[in-house]
Amino acid sequence: RGEEEAQRAEQALQESGADWTIVRASWFAQNFSENFLLQAVLEGAVVLPVGQVREPFVDAEDIADVVAAAFSDDRHIGQLYELTGPRLISFAEATREVAAACGRDITFRSIPLADYMMAMSAMGLEKAYRDLIEYLFATVLDGRNEYVTDGVMRALGRPAADFSQYTSSTAASGAWMPFP
């Protein structure tokens, strides 16, 4: 969401004459439990180059439901669904919600992007991956996506799941419990 390159690709698809449905999504709630931020959560400290920018985290289950509906019902042809959760929260607030849900102390700290990128380089991450991360934090998280949409409701006729629903179910699964 908010990526100019993706929007140019969407425009080309729309102009192609093919049947299309476009699904844009905000940051996944699952970033806290499935890969990107999981290790940080398990270690008890989420450190990211974000300030007070707020994000309407969307549950990946909602994205999957919208995509499945688009594949199975022609009424979605020609629709652009921008999917978000129902409220804006900062990464610090999201981290606090994760901590409360799993009953653990998890801190959040914002650092300058340059420091974050130096740490990624020191970890030996590939340049292409570092460039993508830098682009996401410098461009996509610049506040341009600080709004909530009704895409899940339009596509499915039900509201989007709240971040608190995600944290409750994920905490119950044990995903945020560190290994002994």
Comparing C-alpha atoms, which of 120, 21, 123 is closest to residue 63?
Answer: 21
End-to-end CA distance of the chain: 38
Phi-psi region of 165 (alpha: psi -120 to 50; beta: other; left: phi over 0): alpha
Q: What pLDDT sits at residue 178?
A: 84
Q: How buried is 10 (Cβ within 10 angstroms: 0-12 exposed, 13-18 middle, 19+ buried)?
A: middle
pTM reported for the whole predicted model: 0.92
Q: Which amino acid, residue 118?
A: M
Cα distance between residue 55 and residue 168, in whole Å: 19
CA dihedral (6, 95, 102, 86) positive or negative: negative
Burial of 128 (0-12, 13-18, 19+ CB in 10 A): exposed
Q: What local confidence, expressed as pLDDT, does residue 179 receive?
A: 77
Average pLDDT estimate for 29-43? 94
Contact status, residue 165 vs residue 97, Cβ threshold 8 Å: no
On average, the pLDDT of the chain sits at 95
- Which tens digit of pLDDT belongs to each residue from 80-91? 999 999 999 999
Strand partners, 55: 89
pLDDT at 130 over 80: yes
* CA–CA distance, 122 with 110 (Å, rounded to integer): 19
Q: How far apart are CA 83 and CA 21, in angstroms?
A: 13
pLDDT in tens, 87-119: 999 999 999 999 999 999 999 999 999 999 999
Q: What is the mean pLDDT of residues 136-159?
A: 94
